[in-house]
Amino acid sequence: MKILVTGGLGFIGSHTVVELQNKGFEVVIIDNLSNSSKRVLDGIFAITGKKPIFEEFDLRDKSKVEDFFSRHRDIEGVIHFAASKAVGESVEKPLLYYENNIGVLTYILQELSKKGNSRFIFSSSCTVYGQADTMPITEDAPVKPAESPYGNTKQVGEEIIRDICKVTPHLAAIALRYFNPIGAHPSVEIGELPIGVPQNLVPYITQTGIGMREQLSVYGDDYPTSDGTCIRDYIHVVDLAKAHVAALQRLVNDENKDNYEVFNLGTGTGSSVLDVIKSFENVSGKKLNYKIVARRAGDVVEAYADTKKANDVLGWSAESTLDDAMKSAWDWEQKVRS
């Protein structure tokens, strides 16, 4: 079965391509290389021995999207990762985010609506919950007004998919709300390749550990949490990738109860920023240079997943611990910088 993975050379996309190939799916990747590199194809091949079909173009070009689907009529499912994902950048460049994250989504859904039986897996985010009122967060927690255009594109994206599925019975979709993806494939053949100064905590930690960054700034330790720093649910990217295959198989096997479903993807465990630093020091044996600075605007205090629905309905659960994920991130950082 041929599956299209948009953004398949990106961080989560490439790990998902590996898991799809491991389960025997034939993979076609579209990527515009805006936040990835063709070298990732070699990494995927090194792990699975299979080279995905790769087409480089920008999905914002609607005519190219139409041409692609006319040439690949045997595609039976799409996992859609291709999107802009930097919260801060989205505040500066909202139009870029609405064109790339919403416009492109409608082009792909238009193509899928024309086909017969098709499946769509959407890369969503726990950011749709904002600061949820109760922990752990279930899929029924209210979606709150987005704090950034990026977060809004995830909320609006989910609503677009829901509305289209209502009138397109032959299209089945699942939105996966990720918590905080971290780590790298244990083979150290693929991993996160942040461009420029990393915005996210774990790549900043490993770059500080390797000496690329002078010091980690911890954005506030005066939050109402056990140690004053923010709590997140850090999930190993390989566990996250396996969840995408489980979601696709649910649709392929017609096990879905509705043709639009939503699942939280996390470990169910909350970890503070200081816990993550301690995890790095445990797995690396190095002391991390960090200092406490002012809070970062837009950060929520606490977010970790209630994983019951994914466990019971999707038949998936995260297997790796924070230390496992941190070790894989550190191994990858050392390899990339070697």
Distance between CA 328 and CA 203 in Å, rounded? 11
Question: Cβ of residue 163: shortest distance to ligand WQD, in angstroms?
Answer: 23
Q: How far apart are the first and last CA of the chain?
A: 38
Nearer to ligand WQD, 35 or 180 (CB): 180
Question: Cβ of residue 7: shortest distance to ligand WQD, in angstroms?
Answer: 12
Decide if residue 237 touches ligand WQD (CB under 6 A). no
Nearer to ligand WQD, 127 or 155 (CB): 127
| Among residues 296, 309, 311, 334, the one that binds ligand WQD under rule CB under 6 A | 296
Token look-up 């914002």 returns 60
Distance between CA 326 and CA 205 in Å, rounded? 10
Q: How do 53-55 and 26-30 pair as beta strands? A: parallel
Structure tokens at 125: 């985010």
List the x/- string, 110-129, binding to ligand WQD by CB under 6 A: ---------------x-x--
Decide if residue 85 touches ligand WQD (CB under 6 A). yes
Q: What are the φ/ψ torsions at residue 79 (nearest 5 degrees)?
A: -110, 115
Nearer to ligand WQD, 76 or 232 (CB): 232
Question: Cβ of residue 114: shortest distance to ligand WQD, in angstroms?
Answer: 29
Decide if residue 241 touches ligand WQD (CB under 6 A). no
Burial of 212 (0-12, 13-18, 19+ CB in 10 A): middle
Question: Cβ of residue 150: shortest distance to ligand WQD, in angstroms?
Answer: 7
Q: How many residues bind ligand WQD (CB under 6 A)?
A: 18
Tell me which stretch binds ligand WQD (CB under 6 A): 39-47, 55-63, 195-203, 247-255.
195-203
| Among residues 105, 218, 247, 329, the one that binds ligand WQD under rule CB under 6 A | 218
Residue 150 annotated as catalytic:
yes
Structure tokens at 109: 């859904």
Of 107, 150, 223, 304, the active-site residue reads: 150
Collapsing DSSP to helix, strand or coil, 10 comes out as coil
Decide if residue 217 touches ligand WQD (CB under 6 A). yes
Residues 124 and 154 sit within 8 Å (Cβ to Cβ): yes
Question: Cβ of residue 42: shortest distance to ligand WQD, in angstroms?
Answer: 25
Contacts of 86-90 with CB under 8 Å at 24 or more apart are 86/150, 86/199, 87/127, 87/148, 87/150, 87/151, 87/199, 87/298, 88/148, 88/199, 89/150, 90/148, 90/149, 90/150, 90/151, 90/153
- What is the binding site for ligand WQD (CB under 6 A)? 85, 87, 125, 127, 180, 199-201, 204, 216-219, 230, 232, 273, 296, 299
* Active-site amino acid positions: 150
